[in-house]
Amino acid sequence: MQSYAILLSDTTTFLLKRLGDAKRISFQATLMGAYQVFLRRLEQRSRVVVLMPGENGHSREWTISEPDFTADESFTEYLLHLDHSLGLGNPIALADQPLSDIGGVANQNPHFQAAFGFRDALPPTVFSLQTLQTISCPLALQIVVDFMGVCSKWYYDPIHYGKDEIERLVTRFEIFCQNLTIEPDAPYSRVSLVSPAEAQKIPVTLNDTGTDDSRSDELLAMFETWVDRIPESVAVASQNGTLSYAELELRANQISHELQSAGVQEGDVIAIFLERGLDLVCAQLGVLKSGAAFAALDSRAPKDALNRIFAAVDCPIILTLRALASGLPTVPARIFFLDDPTWSVSQPMRHPTTPICPDDPACILFTSGSTGHPKAVLYLHRNLAARFSNNVRVGGVNRATVFAQSSPITSIDAIDEIFLPLVSGGRTVILPYETVANPRRLVACLSAHQVTHMLLVPSLLRVIFSAEENVDKKLSALKNWMIGGEPLTGALTREFHKKLPNAILINYYGLTEGDASYHVTSPAFEYATSVPIGRPAGNTKIYLLDEYLNLVPEGQAGEIYLAGDGLFYEYFNCPELNAERWISNPFGSDGSYARLFRTGDMGRLRPDGEIEYVGRRDRMVKVRGFRVELGEVEALLSQYPAVDQCVVVAKQPAADGENCLVQQIQIVAYAVLKHGETASSQDLRDYLQGHLPDYALPSLVLTLD
């Protein structure tokens, strides 16, 4: 334990005393109440445990309080509930009990413990560092009143707090106390932890992204500009050949005319059931040109998972190949085979006349849902155009770019890999699944195509480094490495700059619902356990808010809220979910910033103005860059006839800052069987394998008594 002492400002002391006098509440109770409410707001948890020395000030006489908090309660109402002599509500007396027993009682609450002492002459033994260490108390505030004034002495466990953090915390406590006295009859859940000046400064400074409002909202126009300028340049390459910009345009036009002839209407959703290849890119562009939106499906997904997707979104037409048709479930949709020559040669190659507006639907992506049903993420044309405009700028994408398409085609990353070069005059190189799965073949393919840009998860970067010694020589053209989907560790970042001193490593933060921020790593910067996720992307605003939508101060964790055109538009056909995740922007912005999207991710603003990712608020985890709702896996496992109860958890990697190069999460399922039923762990895993994509499949399934 360490300590930090500072005089409470005259302003804070005066305001608290004046409030207490007006409400006929002692200064001790007023300050104690402010401390308890401060802890509640600081930790954003409904349970707080506070310890306090007994009346005689002996080290073996303590009381423990677990205050009740109500969101709509005012600070004045809260103070009236405190006992005026001890400043505690409903205390549990622990007089003459060993310190180890007190620590045990405190630690029964897994959330937060703190201590509070208030005496004119408090015996030093009570709040000694050894005493606090013994009862495992991470934070204590001792108030001493003497001729100099009111001194606040903070004791803290350095495992939980650093000195800089404590200094900021003390400042926050004073600001919060002053704000409480300004509005004592308002709900204390709404009282800000930041000063009025900071409340104005933080959102403006954080979101000063220098956006370019002259960007295009016409996604197809961005591509067709290059069709006119460089028609003979290669647009797409794969193991089966290449397509120039002109050839890609003509093929996409044919598909759009075929869809329109089949009666496709504006806003229809066309399913694309294909593997990586030239046909995939032609189909995506063809659907967009027809006025419809596309939904890319995984041709390797279990039929049960596909059935849940088709139940969520009505798709009148499915585009596929004859060799893949057997993988489709039986659904009421027309199937068009792109390898059928009869219709492809009969349709005109001219540009379709269908007007495409920026607010027309463009694509739908599917993510894991906690109820067992997938969530359909809808992007409009203007959303994708804004996203691409920003990523082109950040990633340095241009006519010389050769971008690897290596991500699963159902992901937002695959959309970036295909379209970022196409809207910039560059080239996308589509890599087969088998190549990406084999690190040596992957490096050889990247080298053969002289790939300049790659988007990948940290675990794949780690595999590449492990497989190739001279990666800098073999991938000399690959200068732009764009990381996302998993936390990037400091150790892996240092290894990157050591092995690839002439390359750029960009750490992206985003979700299927949209990119939010990025950080260009520096070889000169000493990263600790994790790399910051940086600053807001262009045309994007980020707000770090507590559970009551208050701005959190620098250094405190808050939920990440996003606004901007580069985000998705809404969850398709999910009004309840949209109402839960989208809120009106309480900070007065308009246009594309008029509403905020609640991500469920937690972040912290660092002193350098960058954001640090600190985890999730819900039960969603990222596996190989894919979002997995543990509730979805539980919902499916619970449907197995022999299962009575089940729980699915995510095992976090060991927290080894220097040596942990990749933070890999492992999903583990536990099941209790019904009385008289039998099923092996392999039976349960085989069942889940038939219902889940491979990334969501638990690596271990255990049956329990």
What average pLDDT does this structure show over 4-30? 88
Least confident of 59-68, 509-518, 624-633: 59-68
Q: Which amino acid is located at 496 in the chain?
A: F
Res. 636: pLDDT tops 90:
no
CB 72 within 8 A of CB 18: no
What 3-state DSSP class applies to 682? helix
What average pLDDT does this structure show over 556-564? 90
Q: Which amino acid is located at 223 in the chain?
A: F
Q: Which amino acid is located at 45 in the chain?
A: R
CB 573 within 8 A of CB 312: yes
Pairwise CA distance, residues 200 & 492, whole Å: 37
Other C-beta atoms closer than 10 Å to the C-beta of 396 total 16
pLDDT given at position 205: 80
Which pairing describes strands 149-156 and 139-146: parallel, antiparallel, or unpaired?
antiparallel
Considering 48-52, 196-200, 294-298, the range whose residues carry the highest mean pLDDT is: 294-298
DSSP tag of 619:
S
What average pLDDT does this structure show over 183-193? 89
Tokens of 559: 């939920």
Confidence of residue 278 (pLDDT cuts 50, 70, 90): very high
Confidence of residue 579 (pLDDT cuts 50, 70, 90): very high
Pairwise CA distance, residues 178 & 453, whole Å: 52
Nearest Cα neighbor of 35 from 166, 128, 143 is 143
Q: Which amino acid is located at 558 in the chain?
A: G
Pairwise CA distance, residues 370 & 58, whole Å: 51
pLDDT given at position 28: 82
pLDDT given at position 632: 80
Helix extents (H) in 71-162: 75-80, 99-107, 129-134
- Look at 346 and 312; give whichever has higher pLDDT: 312
Instruction: Summarize pLDDT for 408-417 with one digit per residue, the tens.
Output: 999 999 999 9
pTM above 0.85, yes or no: no
pLDDT given at position 49: 73
DSSP bridge pairs for 64:
51, 92
Res. 85: pLDDT tops 50:
no
Res. 86: pLDDT tops 60:
no
Burial of 688: CB neighbours in 10 Å, binned 0-12, 13-18, 19+: buried
Instruction: Summarize pLDDT for 349-369 with one digit per residue, the tens.
Output: 788 888 899 999 999 999 876
pLDDT given at position 594: 92
| Half-sphere CA count of 469, side-chain side, radius 13 A | 0
Instruction: Summarize pLDDT for 318-339 with one digit per residue, the tens.
Output: 999 999 999 999 998 999 999 9
pLDDT given at position 499: 94
Res. 132: pLDDT tops 90:
no
CB 59 within 8 A of CB 5: no
Torsional sign, CA 101, 107, 108, 114 = positive
Res. 466: pLDDT tops 90:
no
Q: Under 8 Å CB-to-CB from 147, ≥6 apart: which residues?
A: none
| Half-sphere CA count of 124, side-chain side, radius 13 A | 1
pLDDT given at position 133: 67
Q: Is 355 left (phi over 0), alpha (psi -120 to 50) or beta?
A: beta
What average pLDDT does this structure show over 595-603? 92
pLDDT given at position 513: 92
Instruction: Summarize pLDDT for 652-665 with one digit per residue, the tens.
Output: 665 444 444 555 67
Rounded (10°) CA dihedral 226, 228, 229, 232: 90
Percent of the chain clearing pLDDT 70 (strictly above): 85
What average pLDDT does this structure show over 536-545? 90
What 3-state DSSP class applies to 548? coil
- In order, the DSSP letters of 394-435 are HHT--TT-EEEE-S-TTSHHHHHHHHHHHTTT-EEEEPPHHH
CA 612 from centre of chain = 11
The chain-wide mean pLDDT, for the chain, equals 84
Res. 106: pLDDT tops 60:
no
pLDDT given at position 664: 63
pLDDT given at position 107: 46
Confidence of residue 121 (pLDDT cuts 50, 70, 90): very low
Tokens of 406: 């290596």
Considering 24-38, 79-93, 325-339, the range whose residues carry the highest mean pLDDT is: 325-339
Res. 269: pLDDT tops 90:
yes
pLDDT given at position 103: 44
